[in-house]
Structure formats: C-alpha cells, structure tokens
Amino acid sequence: MSSDTPEEVPASLRSLAMAAPRPGQAMHPPSRPLPPRRARIGITVACEPCRKRKSRCNGQRPRCASCIHRGLHCQYVSATASETNSEALKRKVTEMQQRIEDHERLYAALRTMSEQDSRAVLDKLRLGADVSTVLRQIKEGDLLLQLSLVPESRRRYEFPYSSTMPAYLQTPDNPYLRSPVYGITIDDRFVPGPSPSLQPDDRLSHCRGVYVQPYHSATIIDDRLSEVELSRWTSVTADNRLMRKMLHAYLLHEYPTFPALHKDIFLQAAIDNDKRFCSPLLVNALLAEASHCFIGLPHRDQFWNPKTLGYSFLAEAKRLWELYADTTVDLPTLQATLILHITYSMHGMDKIGFPYLVRAVTMAKQLRLLDGNKHIRSTRLRHARDFTAWCLFNWQTLMGYYYFRAPIIKAPPASALPDPDRHPSWYGGLVLRYSLNPTPFLSPLGLLFNAVSRLRVIINDLAILQFGNTNSQDVQGLTAKSVRQIQSRLESCMEYQALAFAVTQIRTAEHLPSPVSPASSDEKGAAETWQGGGLGALRRLETVARLYFVRHSFEFCDAFLLLFLSTLGMAALESLREAEGDAAILRDVRSTLILSIKGLRDQGQHIHMAAATYRLLRSRLSPEDLSAVRGHAQWNPVDENEPLVAQHIQSEWPLAILGRDGDPEASSLEALASKYDRLSLEETNDSASEDSQSGSELGSEDQSMETT
C-alpha cells in the first residue's frame, strides 16, 4: 500500500452523526438570559490586613467580616468610615505639622520664662501632660495658678456648650447659690451669705485662697512622704520617687473620699517598719489603688493590661493575699482586703471583688473590730482599729445602697466618733499648700469624715428597710412613718455649716427619691412630698456638680464623681425627650448632658468603670446631641470606633435607674455592656453575612458565565 494512501479508520472510532430532531423540535435550544449581576457595595477604604492580602473587605468597623472570619487584628488607617486613605495621610501630615508647631511654640515659651516657671512647666510635662494641653493652659491662664507663672487672684473653668448657669438652677430655695464658692467663682463676690455658721471671720478670710485655686494644684506638706522607703515593702519596683508620687496622688484624690486606713499611722509604720500597721500586702494593695489616681501613669484605667504598673501591683497584692489571708487575721490584712475590693469596684469588677468585702467583714468580726475597742490598752492600736471600723462600715453601706442589696453590717461601730473640732488629730487632716497662698492650709478631713459617717448610718438603715427582706427580691416600699423618720434624720444631717459640707449635703439630697408603699391618703401625701423633693435634690446635685467643675474641672481623678455624673447624664437624657420645642430649656439641658459626658470621659482616663459608663451613655445620644458633644467635648474620632469589651465589665451597679423602682439586674452595668457588645456583634455579623452572600452569588455568576 502506498504511503500516500490514508489508513482506513476503524468503525469503532468513527464520528457519530447528529441525531435528527424530532418533529416540531428546534435544532438548538432557546437561549436563556443570565441573571442580572448584583451591584457591588462600594467601600471607601479597606482595613490594613485586607489591603496587604489584597482580599475583599466590607469596611465594617471596628472589625471587618474577613478579619473576624480569619481571627486577625483589624486595623484601619482612616479615623472614620468615610475617610479615604489619601485623606487619612493628609490628616496625619497635618497632625505631625501641628505637633512640630506646638513643640516650637513650647520651646519659644520656655526661652522667655523665668527659671522657676520653666521648671514648673517641665514638671508638668514629666507628669504626663501633652504639649498641646500645656500650651492651651498657658494661653488660657490655667497655669497662672497651677504653675504660678504670673500673679493672679482667681481661676475658673468655662462650661461647655453654654457658659452660663441654667436658669432652672437659679431659684431662691437653692442654698448653694449663697455659698462662698458660688459668690467668688460665679458672681465675682465674696459674700458668705445669711447662714449663721458662715459669718465672715478671720478663718474664712484665711481660707479665701482655697476658693480661687483648683484642688489639684495643691501639694501635700508632709515630711514623711519624702522619707518613706516603699521599696522595702514591695518587689514590683525599686523606684521610691515614683511610688512617693503615686502615694501623694492617692492621699490627695482618693483618700479623702474612700479611706481604708489612717494615713498618719500607716506612714509612720512604713517608716518605722512597724508590722502592726503595715505589711507588704497592704503596700502593694494601696499602690494598686493609687495607680489609677496618678496622672503620670499611662493607660492607668486598663487594669487588665499586664504592661501597666497598676496591673503589677494588683497581681502582687493578689498573690500575697492568697498566701496569707486565710491564715493571717490582723489589721493590715483587713485593710488590704478592703482596698482590693475598692479597686475592683472602681474598675467595674465588683462581682469578682465582692468576696474581698465579705472576707474583710469576717476579719472585722474575728478581731471584734465593730464591738468597741476600749479593751485595747495601746492608744495607737485602739485609734487605728476604731478608724478602720468606720472606714469599713462606710464603704459597705455604699455597696449595699447603691447596688440595691442589704448591707452586710447591720449596725454602725460601737466606738463613737469624736468631735472633729475638739479632736482634729484623731481624723488626721492633710496640710496643703497652694501656689498663691504661702500659708499652709489644713484640709477639714475631720469634718468631712464625721459628716459622711453620720450620713452613712442613715443610708445603712434605709438600705435595710428597702433591701433587708430576704424573702423578697423586690425593693420594699416605705411606710409614711419610715419616710418621716428618714426625712427628719436627713434634715438634721443637712445643716449648712461650712463649704466643706457642700458635697456631703448633696449626697444626702441625692438619696431622697424612693418608692413609698401606697396605703392611705396620709401615706400618699408623704409619698408626694418625698418624690417631689427628688426634683429639687437633682437640681441641687447639678448645682454642686457645676460649681465643682468651675472650680476644679473633671480632669483629675475623683471616683465619687461617677455617681453624680451618671445620674445627671441619665436625667438629662430623659429631660431632652420631654423638652422638645422649648429652645431655652433644650439649650440648658443639653449643656448639662454635655458636661456630664465630658466628666465621664475625663474620669474614664483614670477609672475603667467611668470609661464604660461614658461609652454606654454616649451610645444613647441622638445624632443631633452626638454632634453637639463632638463640638464641645474633647473628642477623639478613633475612640468612636473602639468596642466596649464586655469581659472587662462584671459589675452589678444599676446604671440606668434614677429612682429605686427599676430592675437593678437588667440595668446593671454588666448587662448593659453585654447588650452593647451583642448589638455591635450582630451588626458586624449581619454585614458579614450580606457580604458573604453577595460573594457567593458573584462566584456563581462568574462560573455560569465561564460555562456558557
């Protein structure tokens, strides 16, 4: 066979002919239109992990769906969702230029200052103040008193949003409008008012310098603070200078409000190595609490952060407590246990810290601390035991009343409190020095502690009446007789004696709103009187809060402000809903709301519980109110996107209840924080689900097109 002749193809490999169509059937099936392509959702900017992987990002904040699915740390360059990468870079360049300009301005200011003034500015920078804040204070005159740059006779801070006192506070029945601090700060006058206990005398004139300078500008004059070697009592750090500053901040800001020991006895014992009144456990617990008071420590509110000094002191205190608390029952261990509970409560972890309070009360009973200490021969030991007993009683009263539960201690300590005017050394005051007043000033801690203790006795009895029924979980109503008795005792405790009582008085008034069980017309009248006084008490509370801000601002640590500011903020939110249409009232109420939120944010730099409350209160704002807050409170756009971490909040404190008739469990800070996080997570998951469904549909469409 010739090679040019093609080989014959086997029959098994021949191509089959196309089958003929059936009668009435077309040769090719009709074409079907493809489903419409779903429009892609435009994303202005993607997160950094998605940009590096070049994967699709849905732009969800604070974490996108892709990072949640992969378990990655999601981070955005832009501050907001609408800001592009180029805009973010421009913003950062502008911020860097502003920082350079601020440093140049500060350098120029230091060159023209005296040596004393420049040293004061540098000390403030070492304490952690940023350059822009120092420049603003120099410009606005804040350092005129804090640093004494130039002679000045007075100082006041300006209200945000509205610079005037609201009209509804300026009523004739408001006693705080006649106080010296109002006359000096608001009306530029120094008129003590008609109160017979505030007659203009040499003592009041001597205290005038205190009225015109912020409290945080004062320095404690005590040689023991410069002598004490705290490094002998702790292994966390050997920096005695730093620990002395922390102790100074604690004594100045926290000790007057929530004392757990007698500071004079403690300081002397720390110097003398007297283990009857000092121990490593007590020192570490005290420094753990002091860490959130000292403005020079960064991230002091992050008690869970192992990189912070407060975490180290708290961890060491817990280690020592677990070693010795079960076997050692003495005064320093009891005081340290009480301080640990205070620290946990400040950071919104009172559920974890509550066993410390129970253990402290158990120790007090074992030591017979509450039964009187006349059998103790040592005067110093008897003094320390009596003072600690009242500290424990006062604190557990707050934990009962404010947390809607019966107090653990039913009766006050058997040891009576001495007269603070006759025995001021029993209480131990702070000797303060202000820059404009060369004469040291003795703070009236004795008057304050005595008044607060008398008030807490009343509150403790009230908490027993309302929450003492173990057979019922509901708040118990008060009879008309009980209401009159409580009112009578409160009125006797509210005598306007000195300005040092001002905060104490408003704390008394703040306890007025309470449910009354309706039984008769007489009881209904008592209920109306009780509840009617609640509005006046709330206005007096706002008056004192505003006077506090004008005099001292909210920037420095004061843990008790959390109770006031959260109450005012929640009340202002309710008033905004009721005041629609009245422009003047809306302006005043919004001013109160902004002031409260600003205060919570400032305190949130020190206390995590305040930071969580600020975030929760801010989440309830309307867009209009949110815009007003951004314009008048110092607002960080990045902070707006940070999540509220619920696992760092385990608190039973009922935030959203203004009276006594709400559900404390549903309104607890922990429940609200969990709800906040759950809603944020649901929004993120919904967005991720939509994007995943969109991606699946797009993938199916692409596969269909390729097949076609």
The per-residue pLDDT for 207 is 57
Same domain, 267 and 396: yes
> Which residues, 6 or more positions from 681, have their beta carbon under 8 angstroms from its beta carbon?
none
**pLDDT at position 698:** 38
Task: Determine the pLDDT at residue 18.
Answer: 64
Q: What is the reported pLDDT for 461?
A: 92
pLDDT of residue 46: 83
The total of structural domains in the chain comes to 2
Please indicate, yes or no, if residue 494 is contained in any of the structural domains.
no
Residues 434 and 559 in one domain: no
Please check whether residue 516 lies inside any domain of the structure: no
Domain presence at residue 460: no
Q: Where are the beta strands (DSSP E) in 523-650?
A: none
Q: What pLDDT is recorded for position 404?
A: 87
- Assess if residue 593 is contained within a domain: yes
| Predicted structure pTM score | 0.71
The answer to whether 208 and 183 have CB atoms below 8 angstroms apart is no
Query: What residues pair up with 432 in beta bridges, in sequence order?
Result: 220, 441
What per-residue confidence (pLDDT) applies to 30?
Answer: 61
- List the alpha helices (DSSP H) in 54-186: 65-70, 85-112, 115-126, 131-140, 143-146, 180-185
Q: Is residue 96 included in any domain, yes or no?
A: no
Query: For residue range 682-699, what is the model confidence (pLDDT) as tens digits?
Result: 554 554 455 555 444 434
* Residue 518 confidence (pLDDT): 36
Residue 675 is predicted with a pLDDT of 65
CA dist., res. 554 & res. 603, Å (int): 7
Same domain, 370 and 232: yes
Residue 433 lies in a domain: yes
Cis upstream peptide for 643 (omega within 30°) = no
Q: Which of 446, 470, 491 is the last residue of a domain?
A: 446
Last residue of a domain, one of 415, 446, 477: 446
Quote the domain boundaries for residue 297: 214-446
The pLDDT tens digits for 217-248 are 889 999 999 999 999 999 999 999 999 999 99
Q: What was the pLDDT predicted at 513?
A: 34
Mark the ranges of the chain whose per-residue pLDDT is less than 50: 1-3, 141-154, 189-204, 496-532, 637-638, 641, 684, 687-688, 694-708
Q: Are residues 441 and 558 in the same domain?
A: no
Q: So what's the pLDDT on residue 154?
A: 44
Residue finishing a domain among 419, 446, 473: 446
Look at the block and give the residue holding tokens 């705290």. 230
Q: Do 264 and 409 share a domain, yes or no? A: yes
Same domain? For 422 and 293 the reply is yes
- Residue 44 is assigned to a structural domain of this protein: no
- pLDDT of the residue at 7: 56
Within a domain: residue 608? Answer: yes
